[in-house]
Amino acid sequence: MSMPGEGSAAVRFEPADGGLRGTLRVPPDKSISHRSAIFAAMTPEPVRVRNYLDAADTNSTLAAVEQIGAQVERRGGGELLIRGCGLRSPRATDGPIDVGNAGTLMRLLPGWLAAQPGTAWTFDGDRSIRRRPIDRIAEPLRQMGATIEPTDDRYPPFTLRGAELRGIEYVLPVASAQVKSCVLLAGMNTTEPTTVVEPAPSRDHTERMLAAAGVPVSRDGERVTVRRVERLGLDAIDVPGDFSSAAFWIAAAVLVPGSRIVLEDVNVNWTRTGFARIVERMGGIVSGELEPAGAFTPGEPVSALEIAHGPLRGTTVEAAEVPLAIDELPLVALLGCFAEGETVVRGAAELKVKESDRIQTVVDGLRGLGAGIEATDDGFVVQGGSGLRGGSIGSHGDHRMAMLGAIAGLASREGVVVEGMDAAAVSYPGFTQDLARLLAR
């Protein structure tokens, strides 16, 4: 691995001869960090948040909750003390709420603010966020009584006007934890119960945090129902290690011969670990106490994961699996390049509206490194067995694409230059340093 200079966006990743070895603690969970800051801001008493992720996206969330009246005390070592403004007392803002590149923030925070009658809030962000549609949250919030005025009927910047909301039953057209969370946060403020019906399970971090805060929330199969609450009751939140960050090391250890690594204190919530199950099906070795499917507790389960290299075989990922591995599907494409046979992902059109069009950027990027891969309307098909030659790949400003390129370089024959590697700081600021530790002998 070579870094051409401090602050440079281009980094070369050489083949990892001899494998990756060692023990690593991955960064705090990004999804739960976002929710921790928002929930703490809605709580009238101070909330201690431990192991908060210090990264661009999650810092955008801290800035946003400060803008609407919360006080954030940064105590070092990932510990925060957040003094919230209460469920129904956010402060009006002088200017737009800047979400940066944080899609989770853009889709969750409006659920809370939509329930503030007589208020108006404008949301904006970076160039990437302005290409990400908000119609999926606009539709249910409008049904509940709020007003949303987007750009070109679909995109940020948009203005949200709060109202006395009514409870609804909303059937999600596509499984989405972010849209589900938005509706549930709004539903805490409605007189009638609010129910979200999912076509397939998605991440349930919001439901678990609602339960921990004393909010009446229940799940019955695909139906999640929340009822009105007057105040939240939280005093501390511990953020576990991010499985989506761990997934890059899982892929690296499975791909590179001679690898054996241990990842400590990883969140193994079953709604997040779909990638681990796909890897095991493909022949990779993943050992640890993964939470059984269907479990639901107010807290997040944590385990150490031991990963080792193993010969891979192709697999098919169907639509029902996609929400439980949505951020890791590009890594499935990478694994498919080294697996015997064909690897197919279906039902993943949601990838087109991430930080980049991840279907096209993954297909174009891996093809440029020598992969036999084709895009489909809702996924991709990989012809495996030949691995990757190497070359250059662009991140397109997408943190997950940057780290994908790095792992591809480790497993390639000639190495890979990642253009825009600095994008990794959005979720994993210490990625290259952690890689250096796993490569050190």
Write out the catalytic residue numbers: 327
Residue whose structure tokens are 């099906």: 281
Alpha carbons 227 and 215: distance in angstroms, whole number: 7
CA distance 387 to 164: 56
* Three-state helix/strand/coil letters over 160-183: EECCCCCCCEEECCCCCHHHHHHH
Contacts of 311 (CB under 8 A, 6+ apart): 283, 340
Angle of helix 135-144 relative to helix 103-113, nearest 10 degrees, comes to 10
138 and 163 in contact (C-beta within 8 Å)?
A: no
313 backbone dihedrals φ, ψ, rounded to 5°: -125, 150
Provide φ and ψ at 404, rounded to 5°.
-60, -45
How far is it, in rounded angstroms, from Cα 180 to Cα 13? Answer: 38
Whether residue 160 contacts residue 147, with contact meaning beta carbons closer than 8 Å, is answered with yes
Tokens 């549930």 label which residue? Answer: 184
Respond yes or no on whether the N-terminal peptide bond of residue 157 is cis (omega within 30° of 0): yes
